[in-house]
Structure 1
Amino acid sequence: MLCALGAAVCFGTATVLQAVAARAASAEGSTGGGAGGEAALLLRALRQWRYLAGLALDGLGFLLQIAALRSIPIYAVAAALASSLAVTGVVAARLLRVRLSGVEWAAVGVVCAGLAMLGLASGTEGDSEGPAALKWVMLAISVLVLLLGLFGGRWTGRGRALVLGSGAGCGFGVVEVSVRLIDSLAPSDLLTNPATYALLLGGGGAFLLLTSALQRGSVTTATAGMVIGETIGPALVGVVWLGDRTREGLAWLAILGFVIAVAGALALARFGEAPEVDEQA
């Protein structure tokens, strides 16, 4: 659980850095005649030092996430990762002088309470490998997420932010499940395991979608979609097919903690993007 919370701290801090960089990249494209869709936007963002620092934190967070997924159920890790929005809110309040309302500070406390319940109720990770087709299903979903990341940015309409955010959440959810479906790190086994490619494609597509969602449309809507996509689906897969369980007699506490933590994260959805700051900051 400490690894999962460490991952949330890394991801939450990275969000602040990446959001500012994504805005700068978007402004660069509009003033310099930049084009090329979401891939071009990502390339421009990669030239921003804040985005690179955010990626470094994302890398560290991913390693901590893997360690957590190898020790505790997916539902606990997913809820902890959703709490990264609380981290983002606190970091933005301290470093960028963003004002949190009383309700939002209460939401931070609610997230912490939900995670405490999950920590008490969570058992060990399930030992089931799931049906053989599950790896191929994850690969198929990851391909769809990647395609959405490459072409979804061209869509218009009020539902665009929700589609981009939900797609990013599904991609991150694929990563969570795929980590559990990789049972050997031997190179020959990795190359022949569909879950390996699902992890890479799902993660790449999710980053494309997240970069777009950070600077276009309603960030609150996009982030809410992402939180739901990366928590509920993977949690159900873990319980139904991978054998994740709670401590005996504490299933009710785990369910309550999961719902409370995710609800608190959704209340902080506006922190999926940090506000613009002066470039000299």
Structure 2
Amino acid sequence: MVRALEWARLRRRRLWTEIGLVLGISLGASAVYSVVSLISRLTQETALADQTATLNGALSDRAWLDLTYQLLAIFFDLVPVALVLYLLAISGGNPFRRIGFDFREPARDLGRGWLLVLVVGVPGIVLYAVWRMLGYSAAVVASPLDTHWYTVPVLVLAALRAALQEEVIVVGYLFTRLRQLGLSKWAIILGAAVLRGSYHLYQGPGPFVGNVAMGIVFGWCYWRWGRVMPLVVAHWIIDIVSFVGYPVALAWFPTLFG
């Protein structure tokens, strides 16, 4: 009995350590930087509403070098995604089936993904406009203003990178590990949602609240469906619309999106 208790405590410590390390090299680090960024923004003389947060800016003034940097950044940002799938694999079972990150149900995943786009994506755009008018969000520049032949494909890849990072790590992996640690359903959903909101704090308090709400909806759906793929689909579509459609939105609604 004593040995079993010691093994259980050791296993819990190892799982918490693993979670800390994974988040420390991925979205947990982004959350810390976002908190510091928000403090910096709020302590400036310029009002938050008059500040700008750039998501996909150019990384070089030379096109070939900018493309190289963009692709390298996307590739290395996806390494933690591969890492959590590997960690789930060595702990037993097929990690893709374990979190529902596969193509066994393409039609259902696509349909659920589009449903989430309507439920979360459309209200999210409206909320962003409201936060901007109230002064609780910086102006989010979702895509670079100087375009090249590779701009749209890179933005689509950047949207996929964000979808995979957030849904596979924050939902698929984290939910699995926190379940193993014995946390309750809503403790997991709310904890993951707050994490999701925290690494968006660099945009302001408004986007934090919006992303927490998105995290609650996504977390509840994952708990119910047991599949991360619909979340990836929805997130990818939302970010493609945000990244690629930004110049169009800026031209039509300069006050809200500028």
- Scaled to the shorter chain, the TM-score interval is 0.3 to 0.5
Work out which of the two has the higher radius of gyration on C-alpha atoms and give 1 or 2.
2
